[in-house]
Chain A
Amino acid sequence: MSTFAAVVLFAGVVAYAVLGGADFGAGFWDLTAGGAERGRRPRHLVDESLAPVWEANHVWLIFCLVMMWTAFPTAFAAIMTTLYVPLGLTALGIVMRGSGFAFRKVVVQTDQQRVVGAAFALSSIVSPFFLGTVAGGIASGRVPTRGYGDPVTSWLNPTSVLGGVLAILTCAFTAAVFLTAEARRRDDDELERYFRRRAQVTAVVTGVVALVGIAVLHADAPRLFDGLLSRGLPLVILSGACGLLALLLLSRAAPRLLQGLAVAAVASVVVGWGVAQYPYLLGTHLSIQVAAAPTSTLWSLTLVAAAALILVVPSLALLFSLQQRGRLEA
């Protein structure tokens, strides 16, 4: 039962990493799109493809928080009291990002657009970086069971920095693939080339960082390293293969297939982390079973998850299909 709750929680983490990640990544491309004139068209595509979906994608984060504190309350408190610096900064970053994005759609003067746009784009990079360091802190076992771990080294350490950098890169990669697909859907060759090039570059950079990362994990988080290269190995390979395939097919494949491959690449590496860590929630000192809330709580969460499956998943499918058929317009 507790394993099931952990799986549901982790499904939320994966969904946020992929969907929320793509939105964060779009902010990355927004920031790097250059001056007002040069960056106008890519920014417009970012705006159009992000506006209808980012709030729904953002809810996955709430889902993770709620699942965590209800199903694994002590672990939640331990994480929060240890990693409060990056988490607090993430929270503020999220406020900046969401409101900056919402405001940018309304203001018309270029200089004002620049200010709110920069707030949106900059926080789109800061937030995933900090969330990545949080993931690194948890994965490398730096959160003690009772919480109140080291407020600095818990997130300023090799694994965390690797997590932060990888988070930014994977977000940028997914977003670039999504935007390539979106540009193709609109028959916009120029933007398609624009984002394809960026997807290729980030894919290569991500691959290199991931390879370097193996060495980092070997030195800094041996248990995670072992887990990833034994039980998690198929998933790591799958992730690499999907990324590579997406890279090769970038100029040919149908948009939907491309998006699928990018999603699979990110999702499988995140799942790989989960598999490597199982059956522990924190390091090797707090197991899922010990951390879990009473069974009746887990049952009620299961009911909520089932209701989500029945209500939320079709609604999300409706939203995405309306968007991809061009029925939603800012």
Chain B
Amino acid sequence: MTLASLAAAGASSVPSQLLPAREQMAFTLGFHIILVPFGVAFTFLMLIANYRGIRRQDADAMLLARRWSQVAGVLFAVGAVSGTVLSFELGLLWPGLMGRFGAAYGIPFAVEGLFFFLEAIFVSIYLYGWKRMAPWPHFWSGVPVVLSGIGGTSSVVAANGWMNQPGGFQVRGGRVVAVEPLRVFFNAAFWFEALHMLLAAYMVAGFMVAGVYAAGLLRGRRDRYHRLGLAIAFTVAAVVTPVQIFVGDVAAREVFHREPAKFAAIEMLPHTSTHVPETLGGVLIDGTVRYGIDIPSGASLLSGFSPDTKIYGLDVIPAPVRPPDDLVTTVHLAFDVMVGIGFALLALALWFAVVWWRRRAVPENRWFLACTAVSGVLTVVALEAGWVVTEVGRQPWTVVGRLLTRDAVTTTGNLWLFFGATVLLYVVVGAATVYVLRLMRRHWQQPEGNGEEDVPYGPRTRQDAAVPAGDAA
């Protein structure tokens, strides 16, 4: 990443902990965020399959729901513990943020804790209720999971929105002395950020799952089970994608109006002007844009619907808090990647829609399946890029206008050790997660299955209840 330059920029009083702290936060957050869509949106796909399974006596749908719930169970566990690390890190790495602003910034997290509780409880009930609960109560035990996923995500994003557009508090003598909780939670950045993230979660889950079944179809497993898995996931993703592009457009205009510094970085605009071109790609070197492709007046048109729209450039940011060139380039390119992937996925969704409209069937030509197979990975890239835009785009601030990142960071300990241990552990856990998921797939592909094919919701027999605990799970 481009953080070394930031450290150099404000050389006066930069703690040596700043760089490792930022790297660690970026790494652990980047890891955790891949798991978020599976707790939030994948469970929704699971419920669709479950509903269809019960309503239409659809054995394939039911099998999909059961298997998805097992996958969700593993990913939820890894997500829960990697999310816990983030909570610790807020204090371990950023005591300046928590100590000074915890009274305001903490409120959305308290709300999130509530949702996380509900999510954890009902995930367990749903996951372990397959065999012994009646069909509909079991289905309904999954609904709070989806709802609390939405609530939890919104709360965390509310906290992030507050860092971008802080409000609802007063500081006197370095202490938060008055707080308006509702204005903290529903800050000016809340609505578009939360909506954007939620839709992103549904896109990631949808395209990822669709990609898995597209790969299966490509390998010749052309059965109804795979088509249904693809259809459920892809339909959700395809419905969400155009909405997401609309919300993203609104969000960008909000950033233009309310976070001019971040917008200048997104547009990679050195000088304030009108008739600003939309630069695709390119880099900022010594304050000059190079190698980009310009669409004349594009940025002005998109942000104010007129070529005369004035956009503030990096020059209006006071020099001490102006982001360095490579940081601006990072934000700009991340934005381009996110938007580019968004439109590519929109094209894929349209392809699906046209085929569905004409033939009432899932398209099965190799090109479509190959594109779908990689679409899941692309959504993850777009998700990460989006977070780079909002997080790196806020630098050097942690709380815009209120707290510099170098004042938020801890000033004790050798964080490189902590960072190294964390990377090592996460690499192992990440690899093990992938391995375990592949292992599950291998069980499922065996012709006789591993006992999970038996009918769910079976009556509870005496014999069942007293199964000897002979075979370890």
Contact = CB atoms under 8 A, between A and B. Distances in A.
A301 B117 CA distance: 15
Interface stretch (A57-65, A167-175, A262-270): A57-65
A326 interface: yes
A297 B128 CA distance: 38
Interface in A121-155: 147-148, 151
Contacts of A52: 124-125, 127-128
A80 B95 contact: yes
Interface string A255-277: 00000000000000000000000
Contacts of A308: 114, 117
A102 B77 contact: yes
A74 B99 contact: yes
Contacts of A318: 121, 125
B129 to A, nearest CB: 6
B135 interface: no
Contacts of B88: 65, 87-88, 90-91
A311 interface: yes
A296 B117 contact: no
B78 A98 contact: yes
Contact of B125 (A84, A96, A188, A319): A319
Contact of A296 (B91, B111, B180, B436): B180
B347 interface: no
B413 A56 contact: no
B118 A312 contact: yes
Given A87-B92, A151-B412, 6 more contacts: A69-B91, A95-B81, A293-B106, A328-B128, A329-B131, A329-B132
B74 interface: yes
B109 A105 contact: no
Nearest to A45: B469
Interface stretch (B300-308, B385-393, B417-425): B417-425
A294 interface: yes
Contact of A105 (B78, B96, B100, B473): B473
A59 B78 contact: no
Contact of A99 (B78, B98, B111, B178): B78
- Select the residue from A48, A87, A297 with max chain B CB neighbours within 10 A: A297
A188 B106 contact: no
A322 B125 contact: yes
A62 B89 CA distance: 12
Interface of A: 40-41, 43-45, 47-48, 51-53, 55-56, 58-59, 61-63, 65-67, 69-74, 76-81, 84-85, 87-88, 90-92, 94-99, 101-108, 113, 116, 147-148, 151, 186-188, 191, 293-294, 296-297, 299-301, 304, 307-308, 311-312, 315-316, 318-319, 322-323, 326-330
Nearest to B182: A300
Contacts of B288: none
B84 interface: yes
A77 B92 CA distance: 8
Nearest to B443: A108
Interface of B: 73-74, 76-78, 80-85, 87-92, 95-96, 98-104, 106-107, 109-114, 116-118, 120-125, 127-133, 144, 176-181, 410-413, 418, 421-422, 425-426, 429, 432-433, 436, 439-440, 443, 460, 465-466, 469-473
A266 to B, nearest CB: 21
B104 A55 contact: no
A44 B87 CA distance: 32
B328 to A, nearest CB: 31
A294 B469 contact: no
B179 A151 contact: no
Contact of A107 (B89, B121, B132, B436): B436
A290 B118 CA distance: 33
Contacts of A91: 84-85, 88-89, 92
A24 to B, nearest CB: 14
B120 A84 contact: no
B99 A51 contact: no
Contact of B80 (A79, A98, A299, A323): A98
A81 B80 contact: no
Contacts of B472: 40, 43-44, 47, 113
A48 B99 contact: no
B68 to A, nearest CB: 14
A109 B251 CA distance: 49
Contact of A294 (B77, B100, B103, B466): B103
A98 B77 contact: yes
